[in-house]
Amino acid sequence: MNAPLHLGIRAHDFGQLPLPQLLSKLQQYQFQHIQFAVRKSFPSSVPRFGALSPGTAAYYRQAFERAGIHIAVLGCYVNITHSEVDQREQALTDFGVHLRLARDFGASLVGTETGSVGQGYTEANFTEEAFLRAVDSVRRMVIEAEQFGVTVGIEAGLNHPLYTAKLTRRLLELIPSPNLQIILDCANLMRPENAERPADVIEEALELLGDRIAVIHLKDFRLEDGQIRIVPAGQGELPFAPILHYMKYQRPHLHGILESTSEPHIADSVQMLNQLYDRL
């Protein structure tokens, strides 16, 4: 008997709801795990990252556990490659707070992307200098993660210093620690120049990253007017069959997390993914 598809969602894709309402939504769609960025979902609980405490973590962990929901990824959205040293150091400090409290949240993986050397899109992100700055930050994060017995999850991002599977593989080779794992989002690997061959991009990513993939984000993309536009899973051009085949036969029970998929699109995306998974 094959393992079922384990689907979750980023909690903040429901917006900023009162906790009982968020729990009800998660149960309505039968999600059993989430990616939880507490400051995005409940900013009043976290006026600043330094305000996070073991009490904050225990409060949310207990609430989710009572509802039968596990925090698969503790999300920490910080810019670890910012060109300003002070801002980069603050980002690393904030990420460190999440590493220290991850076990209190009931999570073993703390995730982020690599950010940007500036504000928003800049071609400076595609330089060797930007990549090596990201490597330096990730190395420091992993050293700290090893001290707490938790794992850093790094995600390649569209137009970020880490934006291809090959660069992600290089990151893993430069930091060969088991406490560094990958959050794979195949839609984030799409660019205008490779958008016509998404199956090749997916195949390369699965081959290069293999068992270092800890979580898979599930969203879609369209190429519109020469630009990549992110859309809910099943509404774009990404072929999900090879991703789900990998999850079903090569990495059974691997967590899949819907991203950039909000109501009213969640039900359709969940149905599409489950039906395709069952047919494989």
Identify the CATH number of the domain in which residue 221 sits. 3.20.20.150
- Residue 185's Cα: distance from chain center in Å? 7
Q: Is the pLDDT of residue 178 over 80?
A: yes
Can you give the pLDDT at residue 271?
A: 98
Q: How many domains would you assign to the chain?
A: 1
Question: Buried b vs exposed e over 38-47: b needs ≥16 C-beta within 10 Å?
Answer: bbbbbeeebe
Pairing status of strand 220-224 against strand 227-231 = antiparallel
Can you give the pLDDT at residue 61?
A: 98
Amino acid at 115: G
1 occurs within a structural domain: no
Q: CA 125 → CA 115, 206, 214, distances in Å? A: 9, 24, 25
In the numeric block, which tokens belong to residue 238?
A: 């990404």
140 occurs within a structural domain: yes
Task: Kindly state the percentage of the chain with pLDDT values over 70.
Answer: 100
Model confidence pLDDT, tens digit, residues 36-52: 999 999 999 999 999 99
Kind and range of the H or E run holding 25: helix 19-28
233 occurs within a structural domain: yes
Which residue reads 């999570």 in tokens? 107
DSSP reduced 3-state for 36: strand
d(CA 31, CA 132): 37
2 occurs within a structural domain: no
Q: Is the pLDDT of residue 168 over 80?
A: yes
Left if phi > 0, otherwise alpha if psi is -120 to 50, otherwise beta: which for 109? beta
Instruction: Please give the average per-residue pLDDT across 258-280, as a whole number.
Output: 97
User: Contact at 8 Å (CB) between 235 and 197?
Assistant: no
Task: Annotate 225-237 with DSSP letters as a single string.
Answer: TTEEEEE-TTSSS
Domain that holds residue 225: 7-279
Model confidence pLDDT, tens digit, residues 120-151: 778 999 999 999 999 999 999 999 999 999 99
